[in-house]
Amino acid sequence: MALMRIDHIQLAMPAGKEDQARRFYAATLGLQEVEKPENLAKRGGWWFEQGAIRVHLGVDPDFRAAKKAHPAFIVGNLDALRDKLAAAGYEVQDDEPLAGYTRTYVYDPFGNRIELMQPLGSPPLAGQSA
């Protein structure tokens, strides 16, 4: 048996902060909000998707931000997204290039680290300003 792909990633968030999750993951990163199944909706949190990217935010009563562990997303225009995130007030930190990529870390409203990567030498993708 072999692993085939990741279905989704789940990050933790504090209770009652769904509006902050929407502002960051939907309005700023551009992911689409997805209704949670009814049996899971009562737990709080929110789900976001775009193509094969699926991010679930789950409420953790003992929430602690993931400062080291993180998802990494390939982006089409890192410079534009970095500028958009900084303008929206999110902490953005550039890091050394990783073989073949430029990369930036951003922290979601709850302090979870997210890595954003663009292949070196790749032009921004058409239609993707951020």
- As a whole number of angstroms, the distance between CA 74 and CA 76 comes to 7
- As a whole number of angstroms, the distance between CA 24 and CA 6 comes to 22
pLDDT at 2 (0 to 100): 86
Half-sphere exposure of residue 16: CA atoms within 13 angstroms, side-chain side: 1
State the pTM of this model.
0.86
CATH 3.90.550.10 corresponds to the domain 9-119: no
Where are the domains positioned within the chain? Answer: 9-119
- Once rounded to an integer, what is the mean pLDDT over residues 79-107? 92
pLDDT above 70: residue 129 = no
Rounded to 5, what percent of the chain is helix, strand, coil? 20, 35, 45
